[in-house]
């Protein structure tokens, strides 16, 4: 029974990681990055600081990562417990393949059972990494997730594509910011390779602001540039 549960947990783990990848993709992450982030969260192996910003800076992605981390730890504990119990001598006597005792001697049956389990794991891995199967399986899961509206549509601010440290970030100007009460031209943001795409001021949106636009305290700036420079130069916390 423990061996069967061990195999079931492995299958469920593959499915959970795939669902997590689809969920990350629906929030705006590129597919290969979404798969890596899902596997990283589930296994608890972590990811680089730049990639972590894509997760921690988005409420939906934080919730997805939290669920994956919790399920990953629970799955790991279950795998260890079931596999350890399955190695006990009495477990082999409870789990045996029918008619196998007619072909092999009794003292070889436990090792034959263990070999069958190892082969089953190999087959499961092969199935879930087969390109055609994974593509069809992923499409089915994605259609069900979208149909149930488990995640809201991605907004412009959530479409963060970081390549070489660059990305789009929504930031709020604090009182100690060196750019407060300065024009975009005087702020020298362009010299730091930061482009202000829009300014949100109370209930007003200023798209593509001109150079003489003054940056006020409390303004929310939609900026493109290196994310670390945006934080440093604007004295803000990325949203």
- What is the pLDDT, as a whole number, of residue 176? 77
Residues 139 and 193 in one domain: no
Whether 221 maps to a domain, the answer reads: yes
Burial label, 82 (beta-carbon count in 10 A; 0-12, 13-18, 19+): buried
**Token pair recorded at residue 6:** 């061990």
Residue pLDDT, tens place only, 58-83: 777 888 888 888 888 888 877 777 76
Contact yes or no for 105/126 (Cβ under 8 A): no
Neighbours of 64 (CB within 10 A): 26
* Residue whose tokens read 């089915």: 140
pLDDT under 50 in the chain at which residues?
92-95, 153-160, 162, 236-239
Residues 16 and 89 in one domain: yes
**Token pair recorded at residue 184:** 């975009």
**At which of 93, 118, 147 does a domain end?**
147
Whether 112 maps to a domain, the answer reads: yes
Q: Please give the residue range of the domain that contains residue 104.
A: 2-147
Distance CA 157, CA 220 (A): 12
Q: How many domains does the chain have?
A: 2
Q: Which helix (H) or strand (E) holds 226?
A: strand 220-226
pTM for this entry: 0.54
Residues 92 and 32 in one domain: yes
């Amino acid at each position: 029974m423990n061996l069967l549960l061990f195999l079931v947990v492995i299958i469920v783990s593959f499915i959970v990681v795939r669902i997590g990848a689809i969920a990350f993709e629906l929030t705006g992450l590129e597919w290969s990055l979404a798969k890596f982030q899902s596997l990283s969260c589930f296994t608890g192996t972590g990811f680089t600081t730049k990639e972590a910003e894509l997760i921690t800076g988005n409420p939906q992605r934080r919730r997805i990562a939290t669920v994956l981390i919790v399920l990953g730890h629970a799955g790991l504990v279950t795998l260890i417990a079931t596999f350890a119990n399955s190695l006990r001598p009495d477990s082999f006597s409870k789990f045996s393949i029918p008619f196998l005792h007619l072909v092999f001697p009794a003292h070889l049956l436990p090792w034959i059972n263990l070999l069958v389990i190892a082969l089953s794991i190999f087959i499961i891995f092969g199935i879930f990494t087969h390109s055609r199967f994974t593509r069809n399986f992923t499409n089915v899961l994605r259609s069900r997730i979208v149909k149930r509206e488990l995640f809201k549509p991605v907004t412009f601010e959530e479409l963060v594509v970081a390549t070489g440290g660059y990305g789009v970030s929504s930031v709020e100007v604090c009182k100690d910011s060196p750019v407060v009460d300065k024009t975009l031209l005087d702020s020298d943001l362009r010299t730091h390779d930061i482009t202000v795409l829009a300014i949100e001021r109370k209930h007003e949106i200023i798209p593509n602001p001109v150079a003489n636009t003054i940056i006020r305290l409390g303004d929310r700036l939609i900026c493109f540039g290196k994310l670390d420079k945006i934080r440093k130069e604007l004295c803000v916390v990325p949203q």
